[in-house]
Homo-oligomer: A and B are copies of this chain.
Amino acid sequence: MTEANVRATGPIRLGGTAGTTLRPATGAAITGGLWAERRRVNREISIPGAWDRLHEAGNFHNLELAAGRASGEYVNELPFLDSDVYKWLEAVGWVLADPDLAPERAAGLRSQLDETEKLLRAAPQPDGYLDSHFQVRFPGERFVQLPWGHELYCAGHLVQAAVAVHRTTGDDGLLRIARRVADLVVESFGPEPGRVDGVCGHPEIETALVELYRETGEPSYLARARYFIDRRGHGLLGDARFGPQYWQDHQPIREAPSVEGHAVRQLYLLAGVADVHLEDGDPSLLDAATRLWTEMVATKVYLTGGIGAHHKDEAFGDPYELPNERSYCETCAAISSIMFCWRMLIITAEAKYADLLERTLYNGFLAGLSLDGQHYIYANPLQVREGHVTSGTDGDYARVPWFSCACCPPNVMRTLASLEHYVLLGGDRRAALHQYIPGRYTAEVGDAPVTLEVETDYPWSGAISIRVVSTPTHPWALAVRIPDWVGGASLIVDGVPAQTAPQEGWWVVDRQWSSGDQIELTLPMEPRFTRADPRLDVARGSVALEYGPLVYCFEAADNTEHRLDDVAVDVTAPLETAPADPALGMVTEIRATGRARTHRPDAWWPYRPVDEAYPEPDSPVRLTAVPYYTWGNRGVGAMRIWVPTT
Contacts and interface: CB of A to CB of B under 8 A. Distances in A.
Contacts of A323: 323, 325-326
Interface stretch (A26-34, A85-93, A210-218, A595-603): A595-603
B386 A532 contact: no
A242 B535 CA distance: 34
A201 to B, nearest CB: 15
B565 A321 contact: yes
A538 interface: yes
Nearest to A294: B602
A568 interface: yes
- Among A299, A532, A606, A610, the one with the most B-chain Cβ atoms within 10 Å of its Cβ is A606
Nearest to A319: B599
Given A531-B610, A540-B644, A298 B600 contact: yes
A260 B604 contact: no
A106 B414 CA distance: 71
**Integer count of this chain's copies in the complex:** 2
A18 interface: no
A303 interface: yes
A614 B533 contact: yes
Nearest to A355: B605
Contact of A531 (B324, B529, B537, B608): B608
Interface string A530-557: 1111111110111110000000000000
Contacts of A385: 317-318, 321
Given A605-B484, A607-B532, A537 B393 contact: no
A534 B529 contact: no
- Among A316, A528, A540, the one with the most B-chain Cβ atoms within 10 Å of its Cβ is A540
A391 B240 CA distance: 10
B534 A568 contact: yes
A47 to B, nearest CB: 33
A566 B319 CA distance: 9
Interface stretch (A50-58, A96-104, A307-315, A465-473): A307-315
- Among A298, A320, A601, A609, the one with the most B-chain Cβ atoms within 10 Å of its Cβ is A601
Contact of A318 (B242, B320, B387): B387
A499 to B, nearest CB: 28
B602 A565 contact: no
Interface in A229-248: 240-243, 245-246
Given A392-B313, A542-B540, A530 B318 contact: no
Nearest to A608: B531
Interface in A53-82: none
A211 B321 CA distance: 48
Interface in A447-498: 484
A606 B320 CA distance: 8
Contacts of A612: 531
Contacts of A303: 607
Given A605-B297, A610-B571, A391 B310 contact: yes
B387 A317 contact: yes
Given A294-B602, A387-B318, A391-B310, A607 B530 contact: yes
A132 to B, nearest CB: 30
Contact of A352 (B245, B531, B604, B644): B604
A261 interface: yes
A288 to B, nearest CB: 14
A517 interface: no
- Among A242, A245, A246, A610, the one with the most B-chain Cβ atoms within 10 Å of its Cβ is A610
Nearest to A614: B534
A608 B321 contact: no
A565 B320 contact: yes
Nearest to A616: B534
A540 B541 contact: yes
Nearest to A638: B318
A295 interface: yes
A500 interface: no
A536 B542 CA distance: 12
A606 B536 contact: yes
A503 interface: no
A592 to B, nearest CB: 12
Given A320-B565, A534-B617, A540-B542, 15 more contacts: A298-B600, A298-B603, A317-B385, A319-B563, A319-B599, A323-B323, A383-B537, A484-B605, A530-B607, A531-B607, A531-B609, A531-B614, A534-B614, A535-B597, A537-B542
8 contacts: A261-B391, A298-B606, A299-B603, A301-B605, A318-B386, A528-B610, A533-B606, A537-B644
